[in-house]
Structure 1
Amino acid sequence: MRTYKDLAIAEEEQKLVDAVNKTNNLLVEAPTGSGKSLYIPWFLSNHFSGRIVVLQPRRIAALALAQYSAKLHNEPCGKTIGYQFRQDSCKSSATRILFQTYGNFLQELLHGKMNAEWVIFDEYHERKADMDLLFAYLLKLQAANRASGNECIKAPRIAVMSAKLNREEMGQALGVKCLELGHPLYPVQILHQKPAAGTNISAGQGIESEVVRALRTLYRNNVWQTTLVFLPGKAEIAKCHTAASEALGDNVAEFLELYGGQDRETQDRIFEETERPRVIFTTNIAETSITVPNVTGVVDSGIERVSEYDDSEKVNVLRTLPISLQNAIQRSGRSGRTQNGCAIRLWTEDAEKHMPQGIVPEVLQIEPSEFLLQKAALEDSWALSPNGSRVTIDDDVIAKQSQIKLPTAIPEARERVANAMLNNFGMLQDGHITELGKRAIQTPISNIPLALILAKATSAAALPDLLLAAMAWIHSGTEFVQKSKNTLNLLTLASDTLSKAINIPREVSFTLKQLRDYRDNLDERRVTREEVCLSQKASPTHAP
């Protein structure tokens, strides 16, 4: 049976021991397949007594890592190893290593919860907005702890890991030198396939024929165990799946699909060991953190689907854009984890010279109102002790440490517009979060206008089922609505949801349940707030 000591990075243990003894934080760069996402949490749990929280960008990665780590411990999930994300949780008071999504950990912080001696930022190169916010917030906690000398401020230690990092920038922020651990396990041959005349992969024209052509190359050269085909979305996955199955025949391989939102049983099949050749059509969900067994080949379309905010239209727009070279390296590395591999890139070497080098930070692409409200909430809550009580800090320390400095600034004009909206809604005032803003943060909806409706509701009667069902569709049903070939009416969708006349997406169902729970507890929360207000009015005041 495999153990943690069998992971490639285990041979570098002494470097980790020296690092944690000398510095407060860790910065680790290790190649794909080295085992860093499993070994380093286990290493830290052996050298420290508190909980090790491992943050992952995607639910499937958090789940897969937790399950594999529990297997290495020879015990089920929920004991030493646990996981937690929006729709599922498996942990206990005995859990020492907890795999979470970044979004779930952020929500816990916004609700005043944090139980971690170490927080590991895995795959930080992706630079999602919640990654940057959490990173900046925890650095601020550490700075406040040092400046005040107040041990009541809970400041977990930070470890940042990825296959490729901006070492100088990250090392300066963390106050450490980057540890370069491990080495590529197996060589990966990179081939460039020039698209045929008339093909425009970015526009989706001819992508299926190029994928079939690449698969035939791998098949003819006996690189044919498990092949990952990276595509931008489910529409392209379906198209290429059909084309490959028809062109190659189901007898040469098992054809599977992998993307976000699938049920657990379907996704679990991807990780089963099998001797039969497989072709897995996937989005960038398989780009990092997860290990699909026996991958020998990768076919990379070179494109991904990205949500960007359109300032002129005032809406988020899904765009199909070229990936960065950093993405391409991550994708190719999927095939060199357990044996020699081959990656076919559906673009020319000359085109590769013009690809962007790094991933664009998400804060440059989003409408930032929700992000700014979360940032303001964390700035307001920074001086909390581990048990959630307020800590007394000198005013000069507060002035220096309360503001969160982001690694990448939000575009100034976009931030100005978002702040004006939050001020007009009464959620911010003079750069600080208001009581209304705090109530909005506590709702299960991230959409700012919808959260405002929930936060202003004074009784359960103000939130009827039809309104909540409509909110659930707005918040979680966008992808279903966009894929529909028919024009859909929101109120009809909401009504059909309540009457169970349609099969609703899992995300919509889960959000509706959360909204109902919020409503059902609304009267209880209102009474509690009133009691607090009466208590504060009754307390004697003293002149400063």
Structure 2
Amino acid sequence: MHTSSKRLPLQRLPIDSLLPSIVDSLTSFPALVLQSPTGSGKTTRVPIALMETSIYTSTKILMVVPRRIAARSAAHRMAETTHTKLGEEIGYHVRFDKKCNEQTKIIVLTEGMYLQYLQRDPFLEDVGCVIFDEFHERSLNLDLCFAMTRKVQQEANEDLHIIVMSATIDPSDICAYLGACPSIEGEGRQHPVEVRYLERDEDLPLHVLTAKYTRKLAHETDDDILVFLPGVRDILNTQEQLAQWAETQGILLLPLYGELPLNQQRQVITPQSSRRIILATNIAESSLTIDGVGVVIDSGLCKQMHMDWGHGMNRLETKRISLASAEQRKGRAGRTKPGICLRLWTSFTHRQLDAHAPAEIHRVDCTAAFLELYAWGETDIQQFPWYEPPSEEAREDALRQLHRLNALQANTLTPEGRKMANLPVSPRLAACVLQAHTLGHTRSGCLLAARISERSPYKRTQNRPETIEVVEEVLTLTQHLRTPPKRSNWKPGVAKQIEKIASSMYNTVQQTWGNTPDAMYPVEEALRRAILAGFPDRVARRRAQKSHKAVTVEGKGVRLFEPSPSVDTQLFVCVHTDAGSRQQKDARVYLASVLEESWLPQQHIHEETIAVFDEASGKVIGKQRRRFLDLVLEEQVGPTPSPDACATALAEAAREQLKEALQLDEKKTAQWLARVACLRQALPELAYPAFDEEQLISWLPEICYGLRSFAELQKFPLLDYLKSKCTREQLQCLEKEAPTHIEVPSGSRIRLSYDTTQAHPVLAVRIQELFGCHDTPRIARGRLEVLIHLLAPNMRPQQVTTDLRSFWENTYTDVRKELRQRYPKHAWPEDPWTAKAEKRPQRKKK
């Protein structure tokens, strides 16, 4: 071990006993997984221990954390521990806030800033170690950072060390990914936490339920209380529910969430003279130590983004947290003293929780990650060594989107794509800014992108929501940033954040793209054209004039809120769309931009004559269609299509209603198919065609050739066609081994009834016609008995059997007794074995 005694820790922490082992491990292996409980001190002690060795004297140590507040907090704490000025030896770099320089040895970064670092220094030549803290959170950017770092280590910088740290991960898979590296498990400084559950589920709104138990526990203890809620709206609702009570109790109510201004976030993590109740999202789940917290109230819920592949949009869903998250949250109550954790769910529900939440890479849009990789120089995305790769569907969707944004061509970034990669925003918004810049309105384009990426600076009426025309709002925002309005719906904090983002983006554009060209269009039109450039697949066309329902390029249904007077054109762009619940057919449009058809790029406008099936007439007709990408802009009746086109369109319509189109329920056809199915099961060696739905669909183009309507299709000699798919031997065997009729002892030929849902064909025959028949008739080379429905004189089944001999021997006597009473004029011989079968019922002899 190489350790200096330059500095001494201020306070002994559980992780300190492991620091020698951690350093020694890195002298013999370039990677390490550290699993250590919440509160053990790993976030602040491990980087310092590494810095004080001789291993990294000429290189930096980077620690990647999931959130800005965690980065600032960790860097501040390490600077205090080492008695150094923040920003010199130890610093941080987060969005809009940088406290570090070229000489800084330890830099704590968010994932986004680390990606920028990798783009500037793709080989990490000045970095000795990269630490991934809170790895269990598994955001898409974290997975991307981790995989890129591993690739650098394997292919370009073999001296680079990687450390993965978390309180709740299973190290085995990560160790394998890192070349069978060692893992170290530590102990925490966790004080005992009393865990409580609800006795039963309570049917109350979340904010009411949370407020109820917050007040209850506040009277039970004097500690600060940390409440975990899924989203900002839940926090604000709970805050409103508790406000009056908290004021009378002298308690500070403090919200904590990612979009909260920095000064308000600091108020939460800085000790206060008054008692506090902190209402937080999962931002407070890890990395932060909030002194004074002795009680945690956990809603058990969180917000997660999920890609809805059906709508092609991300859906923000409220989900149950995992067991791992529940443990993390519980740990907040026991960091500095014994505590209480109240879980607002039952112990039964707790046993149903998943062990870990699915990684974000498996549930969100991956386009931004792919753009990062292409900008980094990656050319074969399919072979990129992900820790866990995205799905094939996600990969194809991301590549399709990059092509539509004109960022990618033949697995190489276009010049426009390289410019887009310079901006720390999504590829869509980067495309918007690039188009606005090209059209001479860079500053307004940056404000537009910033507004789309953030919440609205205007409060909305919740009982009458409407779809906002985003360009109209941005132009209003431009005026209000110069002269703030004196009205209650203005949110100055949000507006300031939007302005800050826009200003930073504008500076980046000026530095990397150069000065703004002369304006080509008025600002309003330029911004709407810019939105089209970033959201080409979100172009929508109303289903009817003035309808609030529309269909997008990809054929997905969307709907505007009613009324939405600002969005009044036939075409519009869906800027912010939430797919809503899975039960909703159409996605809701919150932000839109009006669109003129003349703005659509001509290279994506196509005119074609096609064959379509007209539901009303049941015929294939020709249509002339003009479309943008896959969105139909205009269509009218065209010339009669070719036979091939007609066959394709008719076949496509027929597959959706196969039974009706082919009349598969027609008696002769249905019986023939059932007979084939019977032999296919009983005599598999004959290899009859399946004649199932899949096979029939595959033959539809052939069946439909030369036809134009369902009426013609229904006259098609389907049975002859199906027989043509069988060999001569199969057809002969069908007649012999699956006959349509069976001759019984009376001389009658009785029809066999076949049914694909039944194992045996049915022979419905009067009992008297089977006298003298000892055994059940068989088909299929004797392998299959028929199911006999033994009929009384009224032609209703008296007995059903596949074992005629057993019927005569065991049941006939009782049946005969009953039938003699009901039908006394009919002959019912005592001995059915030798009695003469009767084709027609004979009168009993006197």
Normalising by the smaller structure, the TM-score range is: 0.7 to 0.9
Q: Is the 8 A contact 2:422 2:512 kept in 1?
A: no
Partner residue of 1:433 out of 394, 413, 420? 413
Q: Which residue of 1 aligns with 2:336?
A: 338
Tell me whether 22-31 or 513-522 shows the greater mean CA deviation: 513-522
Q: Which residue of 1 aligns with 2:100?
A: 91
Instruction: State how far apart, in whole Å, the 1-side matches of 2:246 and 2:176 are.
Output: 52
Please list, as runs of the form range in 1=range in 2, the aligned pairs for 1:10-29 lying within 5 A after superposition. 10-29=16-35
Query: Displacement, 1:435?
Result: 3.6
Query: Displacement, 1:524?
Result: 4.1
1:50-105 CA deviation, whole Å, 9 max, x = no partner?
21111110001101111111111223311111111111101123311111101111
Q: Aligned letter for 1:168?
A: S
| 3-state SS, counterpart of residue 52 of structure 2 | helix
Please list, as runs of the form range in 1=range in 2, the aligned pairs for 1:127-526 lying within 5 A after superposition. 127-145=138-156, 153=157, 156-174=160-178, 175-194=180-199, 197-199=202-204, 205=205, 207-222=206-221, 224-247=222-245, 250-251=248-249, 253-274=251-272, 276-380=274-378, 403-446=383-426, 448-455=427-434, 462-474=440-452, 476-478=453-455, 485=462, 487=466, 488-499=468-479, 500=481, 501-502=483-484, 503=492, 505-521=495-511, 524=514
Query: Displacement, 1:409?
Result: 2.0
Specify whether residues 469 and 154 from structure 1 end up closer, same or farther in structure 2 by C-alpha distance, changes over 3 A only. farther
| 3-state SS, counterpart of residue 278 of structure 2 | strand
Specify whether residues 335 and 434 from structure 1 end up closer, same or farther in structure 2 by C-alpha distance, changes over 3 A only. same
Specify whether residues 247 and 489 from structure 1 end up closer, same or farther in structure 2 by C-alpha distance, changes over 3 A only. same
1:238-282 CA deviation, whole Å, 9 max, x = no partner?
222232344465425322211112222222221222454321111
Please list, as runs of the form range in 1=range in 2, the aligned pairs for 1:53-132 lying within 5 A after superposition. 53-112=62-121, 114=124, 115-132=126-143
Tell me whether 294-303 or 167-176 shows the greater mean CA deviation: 167-176
Specify whether residues 3 and 274 from structure 1 end up closer, same or farther in structure 2 by C-alpha distance, changes over 3 A only. farther
Aligned pair count? 492
Q: Is the 8 A contact 1:194 1:346 kept in 2?
A: no
Q: Which runs of 5+ in 1 are unaligned?
A: 146-152, 200-204, 382-398, 528-544
| 3-state SS, counterpart of residue 127 of structure 2 | coil
Q: Is the 8 A contact 1:185 1:336 kept in 2?
A: yes
Q: Aligned letter for 1:370?
A: A
Cα RMSD, aligned residues only: 2.8
| 3-state SS, counterpart of residue 117 of structure 1 | strand
Instruction: State how far apart, in whole Å, the 1-side matches of 2:370 and 2:42 are.
Output: 32
User: Could you tell me the TM-score, scaled by structure 2's length?
Assistant: 0.55
Partner residue of 1:41 out of 27, 44, 47? 47
Q: Which has the higher helix share?
A: 1
Q: Aligned letter for 1:129?
A: L
Specify whether residues 311 and 340 from structure 1 end up closer, same or farther in structure 2 by C-alpha distance, changes over 3 A only. same
Instruction: State how far apart, in whole Å, the 2-side matches of 1:116 and 1:484 are.
Output: 51
Specify whether residues 509 and 295 from structure 1 end up closer, same or farther in structure 2 by C-alpha distance, changes over 3 A only. same
| 3-state SS, counterpart of residue 34 of structure 2 | strand
Query: Displacement, 1:23?
Result: 1.2
Specify whether residues 276 and 513 from structure 1 end up closer, same or farther in structure 2 by C-alpha distance, changes over 3 A only. closer
Instruction: State how far apart, in whole Å, the 2-side matches of 1:128 and 1:410 are.
Output: 12
Q: Aligned letter for 1:469?
A: L
| Percent identity of paired positions between Structure 1 and Structure 2 | 25
Where relative contact order (Cα < 8 A, 6+ residues apart) is larger, the structure is: 1
Partner residue of 1:30 out of 13, 36, 39? 36
Instruction: State how far apart, in whole Å, the 1-side matches of 2:242 and 2:405 are.
Output: 52
Q: Aligned letter for 2:231?
A: G
Instruction: State how far apart, in whole Å, the 2-side matches of 1:5 and 1:21 are.
Output: 27
Instruction: State how far apart, in whole Å, the 2-side matches of 1:340 and 1:440 are.
Output: 51
| 3-state SS, counterpart of residue 293 of structure 1 | coil
Q: Aligned letter for 2:64?
A: L
Instruction: State how far apart, in whole Å, the 1-side matches of 2:159 and 2:369 are.
Output: 22
Q: Aligned letter for 1:477?
A: E
Instruction: State how far apart, in whole Å, the 1-side matches of 2:513 and 2:219 are.
Output: 67
Query: Displacement, 1:226?
Result: 1.4
Specify whether residues 255 and 491 from structure 1 end up closer, same or farther in structure 2 by C-alpha distance, changes over 3 A only. same
Instruction: State how far apart, in whole Å, the 2-side matches of 1:450 and 1:272 are.
Output: 36
